[in-house]
Amino acid sequence: MASLNKAILIGRLGKDPEVTTFENGNRKISATLATSERYRDRDQNWVEQTDWHNIVVWGNLANDIAEGKRNYSKGDLMYVEGKLRTRQYTDQNGNVRFVTEVHADKMMQMAPARPSTQSSYGQPYTPTQEPTPGYTPQTPEQNEDADLPF
């Protein structure tokens, strides 16, 4: 029987992605992702449970992140898709430890950590209170004679 190893997560980055460059030029990106769920307990109090996931990125996606083509930072709401991988290592005390990681194939920012205060052209956004020249708003009484397309 066939099997499937796929993880899809939506959560917030717990830290800025860390770039590791190896001698052969390959890059590895490491990050943590927090996913949370809220539910009511028996006493009808809201409980929030947060799980932390280790994210690892290799290949072209890692190169894009390392080169700044994709700018991710702590707090960004992210969509992550990949495979679960478990590895083991021996710590300083000789204990064997296991770590489960999501090896991401896709990673997309859904929302930045903070709303941007700049326009898309890089200029600071300053709302204006002045009406558009040549525009006169109509009151409902003035607009009663308008033909509606439906």
**Which pLDDT does position 69 carry in this prediction?**
86
- pTM listed for this prediction: 0.69
For the cut 70, the answer to whether the pLDDT of residue 122 exceeds it is no
Across residues 58-65, what is the average pLDDT?
91
pLDDT one-digit tens code per residue, 6-49: 999 999 999 999 999 999 989 999 999 999 999 899 999 999 99
Cβ contacts of 111 within 8 Å, gap of 6 or more = 76, 77
% pLDDT > 90, the chain:
63
Q: How confident is the model at residue 119 (pLDDT cuts 50, 70, 90)?
A: very low
Asked whether 55 and 28 are in contact (CB, 8 A), the reply is no
Domains in the chain (CATH in brackets) are: 7-111 (2.40.50.140)
Q: Three-class SS string for 62-123?
A: HHHHHCCCCCCCCCCEEEEEEEEEEEEEECCCCCEEEEEEEEEEEEEEEECCCCCCECCCCC
Task: Supply the mean pLDDT for the chain.
Answer: 83
Tokens of 6: 């796929």
**Which pLDDT does position 135 carry in this prediction?**
58
Nearest-10 Cα torsion for 26, 32, 33, 38 = 170
